[in-house]
Amino acid sequence: MNIPHESRSKRLMSVTDEQHERLHVLVAQQAPFSSLAAYGHWLDVQFRFQYRIASLYHWPALGDLLPELPERGRLAAVEADLRDLGRTVPASGTLAEQPRQDPEAWGWLFVSEGSNLGAAILLKRARALGLSEQHGARHLAGAPEGRARHWRAFTAVFDALSLDAAQEARLQAAAKAAFAYFEVLLQDACAQQVQPEPELAL
């Protein structure tokens, strides 16, 4: 019998499904699209995440396999969004370091590229705040050829990577680490929002 082979990207989606679900819950709790102030915290989160992986989009070894990789990075878009809203771009010294090895890099890129699929829904919510792909919500924009096609161009290369079992495990661990990192950033942002007002000294 011919058993269909599940692609790496599909497998990884299942493996990280629980983490993705947790992000939905956190986003629902944090309600980053309920006001411009809350959205500002969302931008800080996106900035920190994109900053951590920005240089991966320029790795020659990865770009040899996916030539349009540099154009996929969204750090510049988030920076522009922060400026649109009059927010400060965080100082780079305070930000986490990037991954350093190929399988890890692919794991982080998978999560970043995948996050652009759900961004279609988020962009609609951002529009309700008066934002757009040209102002404040640039990082949520879809690719000119469409999100699905853009994703498939990524997974075509991603799924065809030739990795041994140890590298595969490292890629998977990195994808989980990327989701976990985003979750921590969101939780921090939540905590900042719900901090009680300091008590007045009478």
Piece in contact with ligand HEM (CB under 6 A), picked from 36-44, 100-108, 117-125, 160-168: 117-125
Tokens found for residue 80: 């522009």
The reply on whether position 73 binds ligand HEM by CB under 6 A is no
**Which of 106, 182 has the CB closer to ligand HEM?**
182
Please give the full DSSP string across the chain, using - where no structure is assigned. --PPPPPHHHHHHHHTHHHHHHHHHHHHHH-TTSSHHHHHHHHHHHHHHHHHHGGGGG-HHHHTT-TTHHHH--HHHHHHHHHHTTPPPPPGGGSPPPP-SHHHHHHHHHHHHHHHHHHHHHHHHHHHTT-BTTBB-GGGPPPTT-HHHHHHHHHHHHHH----HHHHHHHHHHHHHHHHHHHHHHHHHHHHHHPPPPPPP-
Residues 161/139, Cβ–Cβ less than 8 Å: no
Q: Is 115 in the site for ligand HEM (CB under 6 A)?
A: yes
13 contributes a contact to ligand HEM by CB under 6 A = yes
Q: Does residue number 177 form part of the binding site for ligand HEM (CB under 6 A)?
A: no
Residue 172 in the binding site for ligand HEM (CB under 6 A): no
Query: Quick check: 15 binds ligand HEM (CB under 6 A)?
Result: no
Tokens of 58: 């320029």
State in angstroms the smallest separation of the CB of 119 from ligand HEM: 8
Q: How far is the CB of 17 from ligand HEM (least distance, A)?
A: 9
With CB under 6 A as the contact rule, which of the stretches 74-82, 106-114, 134-142, 158-166 interacts with ligand HEM?
Answer: 106-114
- Each residue 118-157 as x (binds ligand HEM by CB under 6 A) or -, in order, gives x-xxx-----------------------------------
Residues in contact with ligand HEM by CB under 6 A are 13, 20, 23-24, 27, 110-111, 114-115, 117-118, 120-122, 182
